Structure formats: C-alpha cells, structure tokens
Amino acid sequence: MHPQELAVHTFQQKFGSPPAFVARAPGRVNLLGEHVDYNDGFVLPAAIDRATYLAFSPTNGHSTIHAADFGEQAAFSDSTVASKNQQDGSSLPEWARYPAGVMWALLQAGLDAPALNGVFSSDVPRGSGLSSSASVEMVFGVAWQKLGGWNISPMRLAQLGQQAENKYVGVNCGIMDQFASACGQPGRLLYLDCRTLDWQTVPLPVDVSIVVADTTIRRKLTSGEYNKRRDACETAVRLLGEHLPGIRALRDVSLLDFDRLCNILPDEVEKRARHVVTEIERSRYAIPLLESGDLARFGHLMNECHASLRDLYGVSCPELDIMVSLAQLLPGCYGARLTGAGFGGCTVNLVQNDQTTAFALSLAKGYTARTGLQPEIYICRASAGASLVE
C-alpha cells in the first residue's frame, strides 16, 4: 500500500473518521557538498519522489500521533513537550521527538501549534541517508501551518525544523536536509549557500537519472559520530583562526592557506578539515559544469567526494565502498558516492537514462555477490517540496 493510502486508512481505523487533511514532505538526495552545510559551505541536493505522508485533523487537548509503519503511538501537548514527556508522564519515544521537536520549535518562535490527531507513513527508508527525519519534521510543519493559520516561507520552516533537530532531538545537523525537503522543485537540483541561505535551482540534465542504491546497512546519527565530526571542524576553525584572523567557518579557509597551516592541526582534525575545504572547492565548480552539460567532469567530482568521505572524513563503511566501486565501473555511470551522513545508508549515482535499468540490475547483482545482502535500488525524480496534498 502506498504510504499516503496507508496513512489515510490507518487514520480512519484509529480515529473513526477520515482525516481533514493530508500533507506530504519529500526525502532528499545530495549530489555534491557532503558534510559542508554546518561549515557554511555550498550544497547541491534535490528533493526526491519518496516522501512522508501525514493524515491529520484538528482536535482538542493534546496531540496523538501514530506511526503507521511500525505501529507505535505517542501523545503530547504544549505543556509536556518542553520536558520531552508524553501526557502520561513517560518519556517520548525517540521517533516521536521529531514531531514533538517541531511543535517545540514553533512555540519557541511564537507560532501556534494546535492539537492534532495524526497518522504518518513514509517510503523514505529510515537511517538510509535520504533524510527521513527532515521529511517527518517538514510534514508536521506543514500540518501545523495549516491548523495554526500562520504563513512563513519554506526556508523559515526549514530553519525551525533544523532547530528542532539540533536543540530538541540532539543531532547537530546543518540546514541542507530540511531545506531540500521544504524547497524542492520538480526536475531541478537546488544549489544552496549555507551561510547566506541564498539559493538557486539548476536543471537536472534531461539525459541523466539520479539512481539511489540502498546498502540496507543502517546507521544511527544520535550515536555521536556525527557530532564528533562537527566538533573536529570547530576545533580546526579555532586553531586556524590564530593564524587567519576573522575566519568564522572552514568555508573561509582557502586550500592554499589550509595547505600552508595544516601542520598546526592534530592529525585527525587535519583530515576532517581537509575533506571540508576540498569539498567546498568541488561544490564551487559544480554549477558551471552542470550548466554546460559536462557530466563527465561533474561525475568525477562525485567520485572524488566519495574518496574524501572515505579516507579523510571517515564516514564510509565496507558496504558503501563496495557499492560505489561497483557502480563506477558500470556503463553509463558518470559518478557515484555515498550520500547523507554515512556510516551506512545509500549511494547516489548519476546515470545515463538509457542505461538506468541495466545499471540497476548489474549493481544489485554485483552487490549481492560481494556482500550477500539484497539492496534496494531506486530510480528517482527531483520532486516538489513539502505541501498539503490537494
């Protein structure tokens, strides 16, 4: 059953009437600019046609949220949300902290988040690196915008979702995931300056497809590895700042200056920072290559990105490396790399349209032969951002 149908069907079962509204928020895939959003860099994501759907209606008192995909329920209100508790005083389960965090962030911003009954379902795989958490945050943001009667820009909604994840859930993520889910446009990539929040769209060349390959290996962001990388970047800025006054983030450090000063950094910090500085350089090159249709050179940047994430940033894993190395050898593949935070999840592949089916079959077969695992391969379209479903 499609997740929208499942959400609506389960709502009818749970609450005894059809939902008043349905909202949708997509997952995202990032083609270039990985682990640079929290370093004020440039990113190139797209919203994809896999999404979280929320069937919802206004109610009185407290919000009751049911997760249809794993059969759990949580209840909270504006009086319990700050303490991360349910109505009965028990702690919110981890999955419920994403919608509850959005309520908390909206209330902090002075926006009304009225009680709702809601059922959500998603075909964005959890823990896959396609930003299932951001799609949950944005779908609840759209719902509360409808019920609260206020109107803010998609970018502002993305910022509040980021605040929920940073301050409430405890994952120190950048703005990219929520931005892509909120601001996606059909058929187009999004190019975002993570410092100024200026952004533009770039057409995805018509003769290529985005193919996402799920290793089925799952990672857990809140385990701390993500935050350790962010800490290393902040340490690098502090130490480099003693020689480069005025820098605010690694975005402000040129590759020339970094090479000149890198010996002042501890080894691990130097590796983490080198990935970020070189990845920001790659991202700057991306737009003219896409606009001129130079997919070979753009794909080469994707391949370089994966090697950097593997060797310098330390966020790959054997299964991701196998998936990428297999893809890079297949006909029609311009570039392949891990996408998302890493430690498991998915790869993103830029593939010639007339080769996508053969590519997907060969990649799945090769991956199973090497790992014994059955991957999921998705041929994706760039899709619209979060909104009510008409």
Q: Looking at the predicted structure, is the pLDDT value of residue 221 above 90? A: no
Q: What percent of the chain has pLDDT over 70?
A: 97
The predicted pLDDT at position 218 comes to 81
Q: Looking at the predicted structure, is the pLDDT value of residue 226 above 90? A: no
* Domains of the chain and any CATH numbers: 3-203 (3.30.230.10)
Residues 14-42: pLDDT tens digits?
999 999 999 999 999 999 999 998 899 99
Average pLDDT, whole number, for the chain? 94
Residues 323-340: pLDDT tens digits?
999 999 999 999 999 998
The predicted pLDDT at position 257 comes to 98
Q: Looking at the predicted structure, is the pLDDT value of residue 223 above 70? A: no
Burial of 16 (0-12, 13-18, 19+ CB in 10 A): exposed
Rounded to an integer, what distance in angstroms lies between the CA atom of residue 301 and that of residue 45? 15
Q: What is the mean pLDDT of residues 149-174?
A: 93
Rounded to an integer, what distance in angstroms lies between the CA atom of residue 129 and that of residue 335? 18
Greater confidence (175 vs 372) lies with: 372
Rounded to an integer, what distance in angstroms lies between the CA atom of residue 347 and that of residue 325? 11
Structure tokens at 288: 């003219």
Residues 88-103: pLDDT tens digits?
999 999 999 999 999 9
Residues 168-205: pLDDT tens digits?
998 877 789 999 999 999 999 999 999 999 999 998 88
Residues 106-142: pLDDT tens digits?
999 999 999 999 999 999 877 666 778 999 999 999 9
Q: What is the mean pLDDT of residues 66-75?
A: 96
The predicted pLDDT at position 222 comes to 46
Q: What is the mean pLDDT of residues 137-152?
A: 98
Report the predicted TM-score, pTM, of the whole model to 2 decimal places: 0.90
Residue corresponding to tokens 């902290």: 97
User: Is 177 a known active-site residue?
Assistant: yes
Distance set, CA 110 to CA 53, 168, 176 (Å):
26, 17, 24
The predicted pLDDT at position 129 comes to 63
Q: What is the mean pLDDT of residues 76-80?
A: 95
The predicted pLDDT at position 170 comes to 87
Catalytic site residue from 37, 40, 123, 177: 177
The predicted pLDDT at position 127 comes to 64
Residues 230-260: pLDDT tens digits?
999 999 999 999 999 999 999 999 999 999 9
DSSP string, 243-303: TSTT--SGGG--HHHHHHHGGGS-HHHHHHHHHHHHHHHHHHHHHHHHHTT-HHHHHHHHH
Residue corresponding to tokens 């929290």: 38
Residues 263-314: pLDDT tens digits?
999 999 999 999 999 999 999 999 999 989 999 999 999 999 999 999 999 9
